[in-house]
A and B are shown apart, each in its own frame.
Chain A
Amino acid sequence: MTSVLSIRRAVTLSFLVAWILVGISGYILLSSPLLAKAGLRLPMNIVIDIHVYSGFTALGISALHIALNYDALKSYLGSTFRSSGQIQRAKSRTKH
């Protein structure tokens, strides 16, 4: 159980770090034309590589994250569908 917990912790933290890297590198890439105009030259090749690799790593980790939290996900989806079905039924009852 402890090992599952530590795996869960490692996956969640890796996911967080990967997304932070994606976010930071994405903002740098987004603003790079402005930075270039201002005369600030960043090693864009490195930023692009960080963005691509961390993005795909985050995507890969998301598969692990889903697997680890599958039951919870199923429960969320089930309750969502159930609650939306209840709303539909309530609406139809009001009409009648």
Chain B
Amino acid sequence: MAALFAVLTLLALAIQTTASRWLPLSALVPDLVLVLAVDLGLRHRRALAPIMAFAMGYAMDSFSGSQLGVNTFVVTLTYLVAYEAGTHTSATGPEAGAVLAFIAVLIQSLGGFLISTQFRAPNQLGALLPAALLQATVTAVLAPPVFALVARCKRMLGLSQPRRGRGWASRGA
């Protein structure tokens, strides 16, 4: 499973770093790594999963922004939120995943901006918001096909789908 997510993260990063060169707006580039983190949180319940999310965020930090740690933090947090959502609610479908990806992109864009400016320019958040909303929407729209692709890859590789957790009893199982 870890190898599959490592390969998918590499592909996602390759797409994200090259896509903006042939798209009219860089905000149209979806954040596929965050979508993978949501999939990981909703469907993978082993202790290795948050470590994988951390590594995915760190890899993204190597190719994004000027502040190391922003993506590592947001991707790990996204995994944990998705994990909790999958554990305590029945929201594990692609629609719920898309909503989580939407929120995660907003947190990453706006939170990342605040952190990298050390909270000195909150007045510029309004200017960033349209681009952040656009990117979050594109990511949310693309999230269900990405979940389907990941599920297909797992089936092709013979990786069994871990059972979906519901409630306290399934935590950490």
Q: Is chain B a partner of chain A in the same complex? A: no
